[in-house]
Amino acid sequence: MLWLYLHFPSLQLDSLYQTDNALPVAIVHGRKSDVVQRNENAKKSGIKIGMGLGSAAALCPDLQVLAYDEKQETAKLTHIAQWLYLVTADISLYPPNGLLLRVSHMLSLYQGLDNYWQVLTKHLQRLNLRYEYGCGYSPYAAKLLAMSASNQLNDNKQQIDNLLGSMPLQVTDLTKKVVNHLGRVGVQSIGDLLRLPLTDIAKRFDIELVTYIGRLTGQLRHPVDFYHPPETFKHYLELMFEISNLQYLQKPLFKVFHLLEQFLRFRDKHAGQLNIELHLRDSESVHFQVHSAEGEYQAKRWLNLSQLTLESIKVSAPVIAITVEAMQIRGNDFRVMDMFSKHCGAISANELVSRLQAKLGKGRVQGVTQVDDHRPELSTIPCPPLQKHSTIKPTKTSATVLQPSFILPQPLPVQEKMNIQHGPERIVAGWWDKHPVTRDYFIARNSKGQWLWIFRTSGQSWFVHGLFS
């Protein structure tokens, strides 16, 4: 079985959001702060992998230094696996920076190794990452060849064995003790090791070495856990610079939305809500939601919606990273448009509502619905807009009795002379829910010609409660 191993030597560096490529960047790790990854500019200044931070800083004074973060690399690796899953089926993660792909099962689909590789590299190119690869007839063989940056792709067993044979034992996953032990008996390379009969090795060395050789040559089964993509989108993006002006967030946000668009488009899905988290320096991160009632996948539209929400958000400290999580992912339902309708609207009602809600807030854009209650202030309640209502059969009273178009938020005491035209209509309700109402309603007209809905309480005080506009 043919395996392909992809090794990403500078994964954290490549996944950084960089506005400016002209700066030398290095990522350091370990007790001595050794350089583990560096970009092209840092390389030009003479910085080498494994160099201490002191010497690196001496070589290049304006070097940008970041700490190595294994968690972040692993998260990015999962993201790569998710992306590659679109073109290849069997992927296994080797955190923090390796991916193992089972090639043999894909060959009949792509009709040959070359085609497969072409599709794979073209797909991988979109992520803009540096990688090294190798392939072999066992996972260990593929990994060894990739780690030593052989970057050769062939399915000729003889050639692969030759390449493997010349490799020193130091690059293998074997412990130092075992490698030293083997060195003392004159075994320096993998080729030397493989020439020894397995039974002899079993006699002199422990079972771990035997298992390793067995798995390397493919004689022993090597169990592999394959990756299954989750149906959720959650992306964390670390910013290269701290951003305190939220308008500058648009570019990095667009980058994440673009990934979201790809994610959704390949699944033919729409997202209804994005949870965005702004990680602040030395302070609680800010959470906010962007809604789209209709569901949206396009990065451009999401950017527009989030822009409106961002206008009303204040942060107390600079933003250092952002997380975007897509919620309410649902299937794409096609909108039916009337070809002969005169108003070819640019956007639909749902889209309009989500745009308004993004800017004004959810509570400020509402629909109304009727509730079967005789108390006027409770018979109309706000509800999410554009909701299909269970149609309440209009009771006889509500259909025949005249009601005002506007109910005042608070009844106002009557302060002027007015003529009562109709009434009374007595409403006695609410003794069951601690909001009892005993009122006689009248329709009145005041001297200015306004038609008002007034009521008299049992205590004989008069209030204006509505306007017949």
The residues of the shown chain that bind other proteins, judged by CB under 8 A, are 342-349, 351-353, 355-356, 359-360, 364-370, 376-377, 379-380, 382, 385-389, 392, 394, 398-399, 402-409, 421-422, 443, 445, 448-452, 466-469
Cα dihedral: 254, 256, 258, 261 (round 10): -130
Task: Pick the closer one to other proteins by CB: 202 or 401.
Answer: 401
Task: Pick the closer one to other proteins by CB: 16 or 365.
Answer: 365
Q: What is the DSSP string of 132-167?
A: EEEEESSHHHHHHHHHTT-------HHHHHHHHHTS
CA distance 207 to 190: 17
Task: Pick the closer one to other proteins by CB: 224 or 386.
Answer: 386
Task: Pick the closer one to other proteins by CB: 230 or 449.
Answer: 449
Rounded to a whole number of angstroms, the minimum distance from the CB of residue 350 to other proteins is 9
Rounded to a whole number of angstroms, the minimum distance from the CB of residue 222 to other proteins is 59
Positive or negative, the CA dihedral 210, 214, 217, 219 is positive
Q: Beginning with the edge strand found earlier in the chain, give each strand of the sheet holding 286-296 in spatial order.
A: 234-243, 319-331, 269-280, 286-296
CA distance 287 to 322: 10
Task: Pick the closer one to other proteins by CB: 78 or 403.
Answer: 403
The amino acid at residue 384 is P
Task: Pick the closer one to other proteins by CB: 86 or 349.
Answer: 349
Rounded to a whole number of angstroms, the minimum distance from the CB of residue 276 to other proteins is 22
Task: Pick the closer one to other proteins by CB: 185 or 386.
Answer: 386
Rounded to a whole number of angstroms, the minimum distance from the CB of residue 249 to other proteins is 22
Please confirm whether the linkage preceding 394 is cis (ω < 30° from 0).
no
Structure tokens at 11: 């994964």
Instruction: Calculate ∠ Cα 10-15-18, nearest 5°.
Output: 110
Task: Pick the closer one to other proteins by CB: 149 or 392.
Answer: 392
Please confirm whether the linkage preceding 424 is cis (ω < 30° from 0).
yes
Query: Strand 98-102 vs strand 3-7: parallel, antiparallel, or unpaired?
Result: antiparallel
Helix (H) or strand (E) holding 425: strand 418-429
CA distance 3 to 103: 5
Task: Pick the closer one to other proteins by CB: 262 or 369.
Answer: 369
Rounded to a whole number of angstroms, the minimum distance from the CB of residue 377 to other proteins is 8
Rounded to a whole number of angstroms, the minimum distance from the CB of residue 412 to other proteins is 11
Q: Is 455 helix (H, G, I), strand (E, B) or coil?
A: strand
Q: Which DSSP category does 460 fall into?
A: S
Rounded to a whole number of angstroms, the minimum distance from the CB of residue 121 to other proteins is 44
CB 101 within 8 A of CB 84: yes
CA distances in angstroms from 101 to 127, 219, 424, listed in the order given: 17, 19, 82
453: Cα within 13 Å, side-chain hemisphere: 21
Rounded to a whole number of angstroms, the minimum distance from the CB of residue 362 to other proteins is 12
Task: Pick the closer one to other proteins by CB: 80 or 418.
Answer: 418
Rounded to a whole number of angstroms, the minimum distance from the CB of residue 301 to other proteins is 14
Q: Is 67 helix (H, G, I), strand (E, B) or coil?
A: strand
Q: Which DSSP category does 227 fall into?
A: P
Task: Pick the closer one to other proteins by CB: 162 or 405.
Answer: 405
Rounded to a whole number of angstroms, the minimum distance from the CB of residue 310 to other proteins is 16
Contact residues for 424 (Cβ-Cβ < 8 A; gap 6+): 440, 441, 442, 456
Instruction: Calculate ∠ Cα 180-186-192, nearest 5°.
Output: 100
Rounded to a whole number of angstroms, the minimum distance from the CB of residue 457 to other proteins is 15
